[in-house]
A and B are shown apart, each in its own frame.
Chain A
Amino acid sequence: MACVSPDGKPTESGTKMLRALKSGLGSPEDIAKDAGLPLFRVRSGLRELAEAGLANQKDDRYELTEKGAELIG
């Protein structure tokens, strides 16, 4: 996984996305701009974060889960 390491911790790009979610951003486009990452990386990364239970998807938007919030402090 590109955004979540095998030990379950977010990678650098995963952490950037989680922080963007914490700041209230929810669309992949806004998160890509905020995190300075390509849009395709953010779309796939958010999917991974959701699979790992660190983010929830609602339609085309994402939000941080409690587990995700705990990981970035």
Chain B
Amino acid sequence: MSQVSLSREEAIIGQLKARFPEAIEETKIDRARRVTIHFEKDHVQEIAMFMRDELGFDHVKGVAGVDLPTQKKIEVLYFAGSYSNAEVQDFIVILKAQLPRDNPIIASVVSVWESAHFHERETFEMFGVKFEGHPDLRKLLTLDNWEGPPPMLKDIKFPEMGQR
């Protein structure tokens, strides 16, 4: 079985590391066309602008939150994709930032990637992550009068759903 060449993935990682040597913490190539990059949360807007303008990733497919209660962190994931650049059109680059669980605040990327508008609203209401600079941050999917805690956190259990 010949090894699939991962040169395009390594090129992307090389360019990001050269431009942001201190902000990129860890990189991983999961398989062909999937690159995971852990970065420091304060540089999110610069990294997003670099990816949009230099590498051609012009939209996000989604913004997800993952609750890690054992490490006391909430991770925010950005799934970046490209329509314009034919070389990286089949890539999904997953950018991950870790936020402290008791005060999760990160700058919003809506001014760079407009496609993140509704995704950031959903992550705000489901995990409690505040996106600074979002023009319209309010609840999206839950009830208008929902006063409770963010529903997707792991310690919020709804007894009707059964045991985990």
Q: Please determine whether chains A and B interact with each other in the same assembly.
A: no
Footprint of A on B, CB under 8 Å?
A: none
Which residues of A does B touch, CB under 8 Å?
A: none
